[in-house]
Structure 1
Amino acid sequence: MIPTINTSSTITRAIVEEFLYAEAEMLDTWRLDEWLELFAADAKYEVPCNDALDGDPSRDMMLIDDDLTRLKARVTRLNSRRAHREYPHSRTNHQIFNVRIDSDPRAEVTAEIVVAASFTVWRFRGGVTRCYVGQYHYKLRSSETGLRIARKRINLDMTDLRSVSDVAIIL
């Protein structure tokens, strides 16, 4: 369930945390179509290369640089039986902690909220366990139906992705 917010209220860390936890649950239970509903129409989903975390998608190579259309296509692929890397689906466990609201915590809900959080995502597939560690950077926006993700950027802390082999799941 996506937490809804009264437009006359202010954003608190607890509200933001509930939103992030709901997102993590959707990913862990492979409710990807529902997860897409968390995104604003102009949303961006980015994963820069781990050797250039400050990379700009307009000039630097990215592991993932999706707008909402590409994100929908990614979800369609992952939901398909033809997505051999993810069928049957991996089991995942998204852990989110150290949530920080970087903008004024008393900002009105109509403002864009900048949020950072640490994460660990565990992936279990075919008897192999992989761990992804890093930082989430969000820009959240209010809508009539609750918070929406305007931007989600995932900075991986690992210096070598060979140990995890791929990033086929949604972080």
Structure 2
Amino acid sequence: MSKGSPGPTPGFLVWRLANKWRVAVDRALAPLGLTHAQYSLVASLYGMQRDGERPSQRRLADHTGLEALYVSKLARALESAGLIGRTRDPRDPRAVQLALTEQGEAVTQQAVAAVQDLLQQLLEPLGGLDAPRTRAFTDELITLLDAPLAPSAPNDESTRRRTP
């Protein structure tokens, strides 16, 4: 919280909500052997495959907002678990394409259902998943996510406290 602020800052609240959500998803998916990060990968892959896409790890990293190196690590773990297959892209030998296995698709469908139930619970105070307040909240989150943030250097003039 910022000094002199009457309550928590929006940044603090976003951080708290993100942590609350991550913990709840991790707990809900533990029986399926998935973490929240792994879920983000398989659920995104599931949706992309339904749309006829066989994405590369890079494309999936861009889609999820996860670092490419982290996606690679997650993909190897999911491959070891038998949930996804990784193959070289015939058009670009440097690229690795990902696809859910049959087992991966079945687990992902169960995971999506569990997360949808959890999402309904989280959004109940706003009227539920399809409520106007939820749609407005979603629009606001998209606006914030689409706004670029330029990292500032520690010695950048704009980051130094000014004293009178």
- TM-score, normalised via structure 2 length: 0.24
Structure ranking higher on relative contact order (CA contacts 8 Å, 6+ apart): 1
- TM-score, normalised via structure 1 length: 0.23
Larger Rg: 2
